[in-house]
Amino acid sequence: MSTQVEAAPIAAPRPRGGIAQSVNDSLVVAKRNLIRMTRIPEMIIFGMIQPVMFVVLFSYVFGGSMQIGNSTSPEVYREFLMAGIFAQTVTFATAGAGAGIADDMHKGLIDRFRSLPMARGAVLTGRTLADLVQTTLTVVVLVVVALLVGWRVHEGIPKALAAFALLLLLGYAFSWIGALIGLSVRTPEAATSGGLIWLFPVTFISNAFVDSSNLTPWLRHIAEWNPFSATVQACRELFGNPGVSTSDAWPMQHSVLASVIWSVLIIVLFRTLAVRKYRSATA
């Protein structure tokens, strides 16, 4: 006589919540993009060369002709300059983010992702996170170069780390603008051009490379309310570098808070637009 033992039913895995699935999917896509970057090292190398060239050119070509406060010392200008170069570096990564997404669109990869049971915003979030990692590596190299040309931190390591956190937050915010551009154009070349055209006025009509008090009144007002300028000003204060603004404009008086507010608003706005565009985009 044989006895049959009924197997206990195996419980089905509990479904993950929306947030858990979104985070997991985003990390998977980010890992995919990071692996791709390591297989194309020239992407990282060329991304590091440009900011290093800006440091050297601005420091030694314009260093003796720029007035910061009452000083025209090249050493003072180098310390003034670095917050602007750091901010420019993290925002110029926008063009790369847009080009990468446009390339995925052009190859049909985005359509494949859209056919999978994954969170809708995970593809874009993963891409922007991977770009943030690459930007962080570039900033680390840039810090070494800055130290070599004479830049120093005067307010201690904790404040310096806070400044770099603001920079990376700004870079992450701008990468969502790049994501929207990449989804809106047909080719990676167009995404690169579209990602740079608007960045030049944003970075140069600011306090990054010149003292904004020396600008004409209408340009000075634009520069003082520029989100880019708020982060540059906050970094100068946290680094203890020269060029702290005496302007009465609210973003200059509360630069750290203004930097956070601007970055968060940009992320919320452009992530919403980019995810909406992703849902309706076709190859």
Task: Write out pLDDT tens, residues 195-222.
Answer: 788 888 999 999 988 888 888 889 999 9
Percent of the chain topping pLDDT 90: 30
pLDDT at position 42 is 73
For residue 262, count CB atoms less than 10 angstroms from its CB and return exposed for 0-12, middle for 13-18, buried for 19 or more: buried
Residue 14 lies in a domain: no
**Structural domain span for residue 103:** 20-280
Contacts (Cβ under 8 Å, ≥6 apart) of 93:
47, 131, 134, 135, 138, 171, 174, 175, 178
Residue 69 has pLDDT above 80, yes or no: no
Q: pLDDT grade, residue 39 (50/70/90)?
A: confident
Give the range among 103-117, 167-181, 197-211 with minimum mean pLDDT: 103-117
Which one-letter amino acid corresponds to residue 230? Answer: A
Using DSSP's 3-state secondary structure scheme, residue 54 falls into helix
- Arithmetic mean of pLDDT, 102-110: 74
Q: DSSP character for 205?
A: S
* Distance, CA of 55 to CA of 112 (rounded, Å): 41
For residue 278, count CB atoms less than 10 angstroms from its CB and return exposed for 0-12, middle for 13-18, buried for 19 or more: buried
Residue 5 lies in a domain: no
Number of domains comprising the chain: 1
Residue 165 lies in a domain: yes
Q: DSSP character for 152?
A: -
pLDDT at position 117 is 73
* Distance, CA of 27 to CA of 23 (rounded, Å): 6
pLDDT at position 281 is 63
* Distance, CA of 135 to CA of 167 (rounded, Å): 10
Higher local confidence (pLDDT), 70 or 258: 258
Residue 7 lies in a domain: no
Residue 4 lies in a domain: no
* Distance, CA of 178 to CA of 274 (rounded, Å): 9
Q: pLDDT grade, residue 10 (50/70/90)?
A: very low
Q: H helices within the chain, ranges in order?
A: 18-39, 41-61, 74-107, 109-114, 122-149, 157-184, 188-197, 199-204, 217-224, 227-239, 250-253, 255-280
Nearest CA-CA partner of 24 in 122, 129, 127, 115: 122
CA dist 26 to 35, 121, 136, 235, 266, Å?
14, 8, 18, 30, 20
Q: What is the pTM of this model?
A: 0.84
